[in-house]
């Protein structure tokens, strides 16, 4: 069974809906419980044996680079890919092509999860496909991209469906294991993983959905309300997996 030692983090976002918290820092550097969101991400990755983190940055990227440097302060090697213009959730991988390992984690800087990354990686290697997505179950599907499954293979995505039209209650969580063969499916310029790349993989049977068997929480932080809810979870001691 393989081991994954590299992770890429999409950290280029501005965080307009988090203002005033993002007046002077990018979204990934907003502090939760005294540490930047991005540092929490790195600490989780480190626990699962990740040795190199590549940060895909754009907005106020110098703030991120100044804080993390070469990664010495956080105990992993940190490298950067700087976008000259926003390239979406897939485009930056083209810029990172020469840095990519054979298989790697990819995640969004604004999401936190207690997912066991070893389980996700094992599932990826077991199936041997290009992409494996951690699927999170939600009650209200109307705000998310919902997946339709055939066994554990993702066959299509339905964006923000009405509850009576949803093919499942499982959503794309924004946490993946990818094989570098994915580069063949990413066009030039701005590209969306969700709209441009994953549908192509699904058509070819190259996209697997991983549903954890262990209790797993997932948080996203796009708004001030979500920021306050996340802080409250910390204060109540509900996030020991981040300590």
Q: How confident is the model at residue 240 (pLDDT cuts 50, 70, 90)?
A: confident
pLDDT, residue 1, reads 61
Q: What is the pTM of this model?
A: 0.95
Would you kindly state where each structural domain of the chain is located, as residue ranges?
6-242
- pLDDT the model gives residue 2: 77
Average pLDDT, the chain: 94
Q: Across residues 187-212, what is the average pLDDT?
A: 95
pLDDT at 78: 98
CATH for 6-242, among 3.40.50.2300, 2.60.120.10, 3.30.420.40, 3.90.550.10?
A: 3.90.550.10
Mean pLDDT of 191-218: 95
pLDDT for the residue numbered 51? 98
pLDDT > 90: what percent of the chain? 84
pLDDT for the residue 230: 92
pLDDT of 173 reads 93
Residues with a catalytic annotation lie at 160
Query: CA separation (Å) from 73 to 16, 68, 76, 180?
Result: 28, 7, 8, 29
Mean pLDDT of 14-26: 92
């Amino acid at each position: 069974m393989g081991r994954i030692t590299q992770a890429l983090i999409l950290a280029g976002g501005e965080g307009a809906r988090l203002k005033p918290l993002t007046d002077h820092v990018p979204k990934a550097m907003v502090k939760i419980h005294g540490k930047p969101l991005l540092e929490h991400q790195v600490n989780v990755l480190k626990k699962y044996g990740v040795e190199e983190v590549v940060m895909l940055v754009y907005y106020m990227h110098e703030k991120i680079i100044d804080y993390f440097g070469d990664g010495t302060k956080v105990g992993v090697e940190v490298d950067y890919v700087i976008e000259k213009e926003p390239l979406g959730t897939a485009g930056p991988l083209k810029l990172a092509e020469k840095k990519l390992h054979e298989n790697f984690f990819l995640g969004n800087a604004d999401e936190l999860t207690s997912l066991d990354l070893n389980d996700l990686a094992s599932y990826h290697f077991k199936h041997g496909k290009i992409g494996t997505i951690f699927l999170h179950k939600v009650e209200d599907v109307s705000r998310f991209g919902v997946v339709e499954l055939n066994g554990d293979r993702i066959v299509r995505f339905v964006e923000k469906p009405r509850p009576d039209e949803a093919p499942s209650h499982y959503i794309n969580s924004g946490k993946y294991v990818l094989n570098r063969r994915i580069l063949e499916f990413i066009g030039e310029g701005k590209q969306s993983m969700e709209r441009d790349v994953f549908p192509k993989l699904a058509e070819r049977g190259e996209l697997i959905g991983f549903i954890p068997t262990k209790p797993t929480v997932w948080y996203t932080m796009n708004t001030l309300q979500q920021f306050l809810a996340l802080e409250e979870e910390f204060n109540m001691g509900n996030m020991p997996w981040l300590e």
